[in-house]
Structure 1
Amino acid sequence: MTKRKFTVVDIIILILLTIFGLAVLYPFYNAILVSLVPQHVYAESPFMLWPDEITLDAYKQVFNDQTLINGMKTTVIVTFLGTVYNMLITILTSYALTKDIPGRKFINYLILFTMFFSGGLIPYYLLIKNLGLINNILVMVLPMGFNIMYMIVLRSFFNDIPDALEESAKIDGANDFIILFKIILPLSLPILATLSLYYGVNRWNEWYHGMLFITSPDIMPLQLVLRNIVQDASKFLQGNTAAMANVETFSEGIQMASVVTTMFPIMMLYPFLQRYFLSGLTLGAVKS
């Protein structure tokens, strides 16, 4: 077997991809550096490659603020409950729509209809208000049952599983729930892990419902707290001056420390789900 030689085109593509990769990664790297350096270091070199001096003062200031801690707790709860809730409804809906049930096509059309049309913001707000979810943490969990595209992908994956597996299980006396949870789902771990990761990221980034329906600072989601810090870090600094009188901080450092604190937990999930994630990306091709 002959080895393929690198051509000039390959080298050009490699250089372009390397430049593109660095352009994508450097903002994250720079955000971490800005959060770790004192103000005078940042003032001298905003776009540094390596810090001359490191300090954790910005992180001390961030974690000294109870609003961000409360936001972290709220977002962890919303992410866990929301992901479980989303996956349960997505799995049950996808599996049901693989069966020859009465009105299956009509149900499919109704679900797809909601991808293109909605009731509007004012009716939606009135619905949430009538359900008693205003200023309730569940308002960031219950309204979105599942993502339609994710459901279609999972339904297509279930359709690709051989019918013989279900038929043999039914001969042994298994019902649909046993077939789903003991046969179908164990065979679907890659696509389930991929969709769980997508749902988890969506839930972790939740801020829209918090902005519309949450008024209490104690249950504001983390992303909304982060937005408030980024928009006006100077007020954040003033609010913590008494407790952190001996700490050298500046608004950009506080902003970047908040960004890093917000994105770090969800990024830690990727290494654990990587083997499922990479295989799951190629599964469940969309088809009718």
Structure 2
Amino acid sequence: MRAAVVTEFGGPEAVRIVDAEVPEPAARQVRIKVAAAALNPVDAGVRAGAFGGAGKQIGLGWDVAGTVDATGVATAWEAGDEVVALDYGMVRPLAAHAEYVVVDTAAVAKAPATVDAVHAATLPLNALTAAQALDLLRPAPGQSLLVTGAAGAVGGFAVQLAAHRGVAVTALARESDAELMRSLGAAHVVSGAVDPGGFDAVLDAAVLGETALEWVRDGGAYVGVIPQAHPAPVRGVRTAAVEVSADGALLAQLAGLVDRGVLKLRVAETYALEDAAEAHARLAEGGVRGRLVLIP
């Protein structure tokens, strides 16, 4: 099979397409024939060496949508099931940017029925991150939440999920993204100055750190998206950072919200797997609204 990997760190040009053996599922694993796989900033970090692994072949890709192709023992999934999954992990020889991928059954969920595989592939990593960040924040219905980086993938899901839970969401985004933010459920959109202490909680998808912490009221809550990189608590503000985990049960709930029209999935552009380096170059340019998706 073909797979996108890096064998030495660098820019988009470091991405290579190689031939590899089709992986075999072990117990409590399934093999997925990949129909689409989203490209995320974490893939750029892996490619650049942010997570180590020098001297090794490292596979790229965390998000996958496709069809179960084979199963190990002790799994309820069957060949032919259409699924989505988070293929979690930093430094592995092969990952989701390939024609086939093996994942643990606990990471797999039934694919949304109302969207195609390209759109479904944008769901796992970013929606799980947003949902797990909100679980850490625990905003109550009616409380105020500021989402920084709200036009990005994680931020966009956070806006939608929080609004669905009855939270009063303010999106921090560019003026040009205001209409998009309101369509996702934001009650307010700000693009300039933010009042200190003005919010019960902040989900800092833009990684503003202490600047965003100042916008939380005394005794409120702050959650960032870079594991173990959140600012220290001040003024009684509870601080934490989400570290996404594969959770097939939660992913199934999120897929259900897609089918109910609660969550909108955004695809910016698609690329053939062979053009993965071009997709990385586009991601590096910035300004992408929605996800870039690779198609084997």
Q: Give me the TM-score of the superposition, normalised by structure 1.
A: 0.21
Between Structure 1 and Structure 2, which shows a larger proportion of helix residues? 1
Bigger radius of gyration: 1
Of Structure 1 and Structure 2, which has the larger fraction of its residues in strand?
2
Quick one: higher RCO (CA 8 Å, sep 6+), 1 or 2?
Answer: 1
TM-score, normalised to structure 2, is: 0.21
